Amino acid sequence: MSAFNVAKFGGTSVANFEAMSRCAAIIEDNPSTKLVVSSACSGVTNLLVELALGVQNPDDRQAILDKVRAIHYSIIEQFSEQEKTRYSIDTILTTLSSMAEAASFQSGDKLTDHIVACGELMSTHILTQLMIERGINAVRFDIREVLRTNSDHGKAEPVIADISALAQQKLYPLCQQHVVVTQGFIGSDVEGNTTTLGRGGSDYSAALIAEAVKASGLEIWTDVPGIYTTDPRIAPKATPIPEISFSEASEMANFGAKILHPSTLLPALRHQIPVFVGSSREPEKGGTWIRKQVESAPQFRALALRNNQTMVTLRSPDMFQTYGFLAQVFNILAKYQISVDLITTSEVSVSLTLDQTNTSGQAPELPADVKAELEQLCLVEVEYNLSLVALIGNKMSAKKGYAKQVFGALEDFNLRMICYGASPHNLCFLVGEAEAKKAVEVLHRELFE
Ligand code: ASP
Ligand code: MG
């Protein structure tokens, strides 16, 4: 099979005409790029989420719709052939307007997915036309024909086998003739309802599609030139990482480095597709390659920070249950499909954090019925305003004294929960949101500078 590259562009990469043109240049530069996955134009998904939550006042609603329209029109205005694309955008905006009105009466997950999907549906119309005007043989494809998910609106799970079959049947042949432009983030369930993979889900879409067409490479173009040792806005001396392993990068994505959607690397790893992360604004700066095998495996690789953590502590008060307590707790969580990130346990209590990658992006709540059921079993305490700091590396505990080095640097911080041991690639802890950045800064200085 010839080289088949999938290129994904994030919201800031397709924010306006200039940004989109840079994407087109990147696509032109790599003749093996046959499939392009795009996010919504920067800011659009947030506006759509607002509409989906239900805006009561019709004028306010119209104002948001006007903003959405303006973002797209300002790009179309630069085209030589404007009519067709403007018509496509108008058609979507008309539907959007009625859905926004419906949401003002009653919002819901299913309607939200239909509304937020409009961002990617619009951006891909525009990107396709822009590419055509540059002479690229581009064609737009509605990924809902291929990206089959379950019906879990807002955070749908892909059905891998179906995606693969549908992609081979509908998408792969098209990629032989054209450069195909399609949507990230969105999919559809078996009944044809639009679904989404959760905020930031375009990366994951791109990886799922790359897997399904058996791509030989996946490029994720964003607004930072690759993965850094930590967020340079927190630690200005943070440096780019040229090469990182799948395991390390997955830990980073899972633990909050906002560069990649946490699930992105699963499909790439399954099919050993090397992933490149770079900045579409400055492609010449290079970026980070994520591969199975890498040359160096340093003890400390990077630090990631994730805010909006919800910690739930469960205590079985009279220790009467000498066994089975954890099993009961997790049975309840499983029954309500509550996904857990971190866990620490003692014999009679367990602390855990709730998974947070839902479409709203807010701190996850422990639903009242789940709480009530857990309370039949134990005392339940829920805390908000916490941040998770994750230290990523390799065989961290292999070297003596590492704990002293890490925790010594953090002696002035009140660490709420510490997890280490399950993965050789990560150590993480919770701190109060107010002091989280400081903790990252101090630790970065100690371990990386
Ligand atoms: N447009 C969606 C979002 O803003 C998906 C993505 O950009 O990855 O979350
Ligand atoms: Mg994004």
Least reliable range by pLDDT among 162-171, 314-323, 327-336:
314-323
Task: Decide if 131 is inside a domain.
Answer: yes
Same domain, 80 and 207: yes
All residues at 6 or more sequence positions from 131 whose CB lies less than 8 Å from its CB, including other chains: 24, 27, 36, 138, 179, 181
Residues 197 and 331 in one domain: no
Say whether both 316 and 186 belong to one domain: no
Tell me the average pLDDT across 48-53: 97
Q: Do residues 211 and 318 both lie within one domain?
A: no
Q: Of all atoms in ligand 1, which is nearest to the CA of residue 202? A: 8
Is 8's C-beta closer than 6 angstroms to any atom of ligand 1? no
Lowest-confidence region among 63-77, 87-101, 278-292, 351-365: 351-365
Q: With a 6 A CB cut-off, is 200 part of the ligand 1 pocket?
A: yes
| CATH assignment at residue 420 | 3.30.2130.10
| Atom number in ligand 1 closest to CA 185 | 5
Distance CA 368, CA 427 (A): 31
Same domain, 85 and 172: yes
Average pLDDT over residues 377-387: 93
Indicate if 187 and 318 belong to the same structural domain.
no
Question: What distances in angstroms separate CA 275 from CA 1, 6, 11, 136, 197, one per listed residue?
Answer: 19, 10, 19, 24, 20
Q: CATH number, domain at 58? A: 3.40.1160.10
CA 258 to centroid of ligand 2, rounded, Å: 9
Residue 214, in any domain of the structure: yes
229 part of a folded domain: no
Tokens of 212: 């399904």
- Asked if 161 and 36 sit in the same domain, the reply is yes
Nearest CA owner, ligand 1 atom 5: 200
pLDDT tens-digit profile of 112-152? 999 999 999 999 999 999 999 999 999 999 999 999 999 99
- Residue 256 in any domain: the answer is no
Q: Residue 365: which pLDDT band, with cuts at 50, 70 and 90?
A: confident
Residue 320 has pLDDT above 70, yes or no: no
Q: What is the mean pLDDT of residues 250-271?
A: 84
Q: Within a domain: residue 134?
A: yes
Query: 316 with 409, same domain?
Result: yes
The pLDDT confidence band at residue 322, using thresholds 50, 70 and 90, is: low
**Partners of 311 in the β-ladder:** 353, 383
On whether both 311 and 211 belong to a single domain, the answer is no
199 and 306 share one domain: no
Residue 252's pLDDT is what? Answer: 86
Ligand 1 proximity of 72 Cβ (cutoff 6 Å): no
Residues whose CB falls within 8 Å of the CB of residue 226, separated by 6 or more in sequence, listed in order: 240, 241, 242, 277, 278, 279, 285, 286, 287, 288
Nearest ligand, measured from the Cα of 201: 1
Other Cβ atoms less than 10 A from the Cβ of 358: the count is 15
Last residue of a domain, one of 196, 223, 250: 223
> Average pLDDT of 350-362?
73
Q: Is the CB of 199 under 6 A from ligand 1?
A: yes
Across 268-288, average pLDDT: 95
Query: Which ligand has the minimum distance to the alpha carbon of residue 360?
Result: 1
Q: What letter does residue 389 receive in the DSSP assignment?
A: E
- Output Rg (C-alpha) for the chain, integer angstroms: 23
pLDDT of residue 396: 85
Which of these three, 166, 198, 223, is where a domain ends? 223
Question: Is 412 within a domain?
Answer: yes
Quote the domain boundaries for residue 337. 301-448
Cα 414 to averaged position of ligand 1 atoms, centre (Å): 34
Backbone angle region of 66, left / alpha / beta, with phi > 0 → left and psi within -120 to 50 → alpha: alpha
User: Do residue 313 and residue 219 come from a single domain?
Assistant: no
CA distance 244 to 253: 12
Rounded Cα–Cα distance for residues 28 and 58 (Å): 43
Same domain, 215 and 354: no
Q: What is the largest distance, in Å, between two alpha-carbon atoms of the chain?
A: 76
Q: Which residue has the tokens 């032989």?
A: 176
- Band (pLDDT 50/70/90 cuts) for residue 440 is very high
Question: What's the 3-state SS for 156-194?
Answer: CCECHHHHHHHHHHHHHHHHHHCEEEEECCEEECCCCCE
Does 61 sit in the ligand 1 pocket, CB within 6 Å?
no
Total count of domains within the chain: 2
Residue 5 forms beta bridges with which residues? 33, 217
> Measured between alpha carbons, how far is 117 from 149 in angstroms, rounded to an integer?
14
Q: Is the CB of 186 under 6 A from ligand 1?
A: no
Average pLDDT, the chain: 93
pTM, entire model: 0.85
Calculate mean pLDDT across residues 363-379: 91
Token couple for 4: 């088949």
Q: H or E stretch including 221? A: strand 217-222
Q: Is the CB of 39 under 6 A from ligand 1?
A: yes
Residue 2 has pLDDT above 80, yes or no: no
- Spatial separation of the C-alpha atoms in residues 250 and 392, rounded to whole Å: 10
Q: 275 in a domain, yes or no?
A: no
What mean pLDDT is predicted for residues 337-359? 82
% of the chain exceeding 90 in pLDDT: 81
Domain boundary among 164, 194, 223: 223
**Contact call for residues 359 and 49 (beta carbons, < 8 A):** yes
Confidence band for 108, pLDDT divided at 50, 70 and 90: very high
Contacts of 140 (CB under 8 A, 6+ apart): 124, 125, 128, 180, 181, 182
Residue 268 lies in a domain: no
Listed residue (379, 370, 374) closest to 318, CA to CA: 379
Task: Name the band, by pLDDT with cuts 50, 70 and 90, for residue 205.
Answer: very high
- The average pLDDT across 191-212 equals 97
Tens of pLDDT, residue by residue over 33-43, are 999 999 999 99
Substitution site in 12, 41, 45, 263 for ligand 1 pocket (most atoms within 8 Å of beta carbon):
45
Please say if the pLDDT value at position 1 is more than 90.
no
